[in-house]
Chain A
């Protein structure tokens, strides 16, 4: 009977605290590949695994919950703000561990995503999160994925300790600009958000250098200055890498020596290597200086952040510029965008008919262009043209405005030129590069390789010829691309002539002006 009562309490807590956490966007379990340790539960899979899809089409990968929904802050967009009258509950660390382990065993989840309202103070809350993670990693020996929120304003020591237990950490940017933050989340300060981000970045970088792992930056666009800075750093890190390899050798020999002593006694273990071991042992303390856990990675899956879209009046250009800066200057692994939903019906916030989902979608598309396709923010948008086209995606939009660069010859163009063709992604570009070494490719081959021909045909030639007779004219191509994306909408809109000019009916917020 007691057990049933207890389970009912957990059910209540789970319902309240997961409902409060569902607006958090990041639920990825990617970025780290870690095999099982052979005795304890858990491993991690580099590309992440989705375990379920909810009715809104978002994936559940991690058990996403708040530690508590009690909060001292009063952010206007948040359901748990202190001025709201909602039931407040808290988990205990043990309860969270138990839930995570049991869900994980049944393959419901890939790990834990732990966030929290601010209870008493940022430090107190961060301490609770740390305690939970510590318990989960050491008592329950959970070796799966953990994503934990960094609480802005918590002390650097706590953040660092937590970082060695988590796979990914994130500090929420909340809103794209400092002004918006001041208005909408008055208790949060921009500085308190950026400084833990910087700390995480430095920690991740140091830990990676220490372990001899390269950074993920290589796959992104870099300006010249950043490139030279990185090269200078690499020289420095090469020296550190040497130290690291010596350190590893020392540790290994030390271990081997210990086990030799255990099984055969001191004499045999001594032998010829002993002087070398002693030499390197002297070096050990110097190598591990400044690193609290040389045996562990610090936030191995990198850090991410998220911001709310549509609660304040930034343009898309401002938002992706902020994203670009975060990727470049803070080495973010991912940035998530969350379409604003006015859960509190707060009158000072915009009253949208629904969450701006299309806008969010376009931002994600642009985000991928920044991360994988070598685009820069100012290529996609500009001060004059600050918002994305509702009708066609950012890459097509860029392409139709740069027709002077097209058509591109598939059998000759380099990787980054191929990537800029609408309908060709990173996978198909790589396949094209590989396949054309053996045979000249034709349109039918491209189709099999996975190129989306309905978009690509306007921009490519195979063996010097285009697939159809195409007018290289902005209006013509745009019309065709739009028709392919939403044929129904185009046909319904008027019935007679569907022209590009009709777009002017929409203003940049997606509402119909007439």
Chain B
């Protein structure tokens, strides 16, 4: 049995992409056939016994190289799937994507259909979960109108801001807006007529008590749309789980 290696990287997309790059460097140095002995751990975590741990320094160039080779050798749909999987919060997301990439580079993109393979299956599961949350959140995000800027605050489970920002900059090209993930201190900032920029590490203070008449109208509209004879709270809870409601206008 070969030595286990853990690559510990920063808990961000860039961090994991760098770790993926380093993992391939590591793997290519090995003499024996590769046996999935490398795993990737993002952020602080428990130390593992019987494994060599390597710190990974985030490096923009390595990120670019990794992204480019995934896109050019496996195509955009595969890149999309992997990106979505990496936005999940699961501890093993880096490792799953690494295993997937090792196979995909060796066998071609047909790997995404080989659901009997544990790594391919795991990546599909992760990206499917992220997809589902994304689908819901695109609808459930609410912007507050603060006069010259729209601000949306969210507390998603997965890392949603990088996936959501393109949708909204396409939709509101002439608006200034901010999408802010309070769990990760990550924000997408959009200035009218420009592209979205990701800003991390800054805490956003949203001014309270801003009176918005359209929010009042919306609450009223939301309340009247229910047909009392068909009341079905269970169905509502199923389709709109309660944790989504934290920043939704009609629930506050």
Contact = CB atoms under 8 A, between A and B. Distances in A.
A36 interface: yes
A102 B214 contact: yes
A63 B117 CA distance: 45
Nearest to B239: A53
A87 interface: no
Chain B binding surface, main DSSP class: helix
Interface stretch (A14-22, A189-197, A299-307): A14-22
Contacts of B150: 105-106
A415 interface: no
A106 B249 contact: yes
Q: Counting chain A CB atoms within 10 Å of each CB, which of B114, B139, B144, B152 scores highest? A: B139
A11 B229 CA distance: 24
B143 interface: yes
A105 B235 CA distance: 28
- Taking residues whose C-beta sits less than 8 angstroms from the other chain, chain A's interface range is 35 or more
Contacts of B142: 106-108
Contacts of A448: 115, 121, 125
B240 interface: yes
Interface in A419-450: 431, 434-435, 437-439, 441, 445, 448-449
Interface stretch (A37-45, A146-154, A388-396, A400-408): A37-45
Interface string B224-252: 11111111111110111000000011100
A431 to B, nearest CB: 6
B141 A341 contact: no
B170 A438 contact: no
Nearest to A339: B230
Given A14-B217, A18-B221, A43-B170, A52 B227 contact: no
B115 A105 contact: no
B172 to A, nearest CB: 6
A54 B225 contact: yes
Contact of A56 (B173, B175, B226): B226
B224 A357 contact: no
A281 B205 CA distance: 59
Interface string A105-140: 111101000000000000000000000000000000
Nearest to A10: B217
B229 A341 contact: yes
Nearest to A16: B224
Given A22-B227, A60-B225, A107-B152, A41 B175 contact: yes
A99 interface: yes
B222 A42 contact: no
Contacts of B44: none
Given A105-B145, A339-B230, A56 B116 contact: no
29 contacts: A11-B220, A18-B221, A18-B224, A40-B174, A42-B171, A45-B167, A52-B140, A53-B239, A54-B225, A55-B226, A56-B227, A56-B230, A56-B236, A57-B235, A60-B225, A105-B150, A105-B175, A106-B150, A106-B214, A106-B218, A107-B139, A107-B152, A108-B218, A357-B230, A434-B113, A434-B115, A435-B116, A448-B125, A449-B115
Interface of A: 7, 10-11, 14-15, 18-19, 22-23, 35-43, 45, 47, 49-61, 63-64, 99, 102-103, 105-108, 110, 144, 339, 341, 354-355, 357, 431, 434-435, 437-439, 441, 445, 448-449
Interface of B: 110, 113-117, 121, 125, 135-136, 138-145, 150, 152, 167-168, 170-175, 213-218, 220-222, 224-236, 238-240, 248-250
Ranked nearest first, the 9 interchain pairs of A and B with the lowest CB-CB distance are A57-B235, A434-B113, A56-B230, A439-B116, A435-B115, A36-B170, A54-B226, A53-B240, A55-B226
